[in-house]
């Protein structure tokens, strides 16, 4: 059916060719071939080993991508290889004050164990005296919320398309006995092409 209202942003005007799309803030990617996924998983594990042994001085800090109750997410470049990441910088004092230590440890452990094409990857974690750092995959297409706000609303085909991706993610997580309790348009990230 038609979406009516204002036209869709250019990145969503055409039906995406690849059905592996939505990226949810806390972890999502897109490859469909098993051998590619296995290769990617091995590469991710290698990258984790490197980034787990890094420190904040190994990164060039860029703009702030977002803020939350415990800290902020910054765009960073890892100086040793020039790769870009979204670095979640969490204040230890805030985590302790808000009694969220177990929650943060659980989040990190869950991110390490999951491997889904639409879930943003955790590439490493480290800490210093004041902060915990999570080096995440950088997804540069913006929040789903921003695209939805610009469009006003999506037509039925696009709505079904994104809903199917979200259901796929939840099915994967629930099969691993993981419940994600913070689904909202601001926590869904897209690539520049709308995936």
| pLDDT at res. 62 | 98
Confirm whether residue 91 is marked as ligand binding.
no
Which secondary-structure segment (H or E) carries 101?
helix 101-113
Is residue 49 in some structural domain? yes
Using DSSP's 3-state secondary structure scheme, residue 184 falls into coil
Catalytic hit among 2, 157, 182, 193: 182
- For position 82, what pLDDT does the model report? 96
Does some domain include residue 67? yes
Domain membership of residue 168 as a residue range: 10-189
CA 128 to chain centre: 23
Q: Return the exposure string of 67-101: e unless at least 16 CB atoms fall within 10 Å of the residue's CB, then b.
A: eeebbebbbbbbeeeeeebbbbbbbbeebeeeebe
User: What pLDDT, on a 0 to 100 scale, did the predictor assign at position 143?
Assistant: 92
pLDDT recorded at residue 40: 53
Is residue 1 domain-resident? no
* pLDDT of 29: 38
Mean pLDDT by 10 residues, the chain (195 residues): 43 41 37 45 59 94 93 97 97 94 93 91 95 96 93 94 95 95 93 85
Report if residue 194 sits inside a domain. Answer: no
Picking from 113, 107, 67, 60, the residue whose alpha carbon sits closest to that of residue 89 is 67
Q: What is the pLDDT of residue 166?
A: 96
| CATH number (domain holding residue 90) | 3.30.200.20
What's the structural domain count of the chain? 1
In order of 2, 51, 87, the CA distances from 39 in angstroms are 40, 18, 24
Q: 171 lies in a domain?
A: yes
Residue 182 is a catalytic residue = yes
Alpha-carbon span 137 to 108, nearest angstrom = 14
């Amino acid at each position: 059916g038609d979406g009516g209202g204002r036209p869709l942003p250019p990145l969503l005007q055409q039906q995406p060719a690849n059905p592996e799309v939505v990226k949810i803030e806390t972890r999502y990617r897109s490859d469909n071939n098993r051998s590619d996924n296995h290769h990617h998983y091995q590469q991710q594990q290698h990258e984790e080993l490197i980034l787990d042994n890094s420190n904040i001085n190994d990164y060039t800090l860029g703009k702030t991508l977002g803020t939350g109750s415990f800290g902020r997410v910054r765009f960073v470049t890892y100086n040793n290889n020039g790769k870009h990441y979204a670095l979640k910088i969490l204040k230890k004092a805030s985590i302790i004050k808000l009694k969220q230590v177990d929650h943060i440890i659980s989040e990190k452990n869950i991110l390490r164990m999951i491997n889904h094409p639409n879930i943003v990857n955790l590439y490493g974690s480290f800490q210093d005296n004041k902060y915990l750092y999570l080096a995440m995959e950088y997804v540069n297409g913006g929040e789903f919320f921003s695209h939805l706000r610009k469009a006003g609303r999506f037509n039925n085909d696009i709505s079904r398309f994104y809903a199917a991706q979200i259901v796929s993610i939840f099915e994967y997580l629930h099969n691993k006995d993981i419940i994600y309790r913070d689904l909202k348009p601001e926590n869904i990230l897209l690539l520049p092409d709308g995936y």
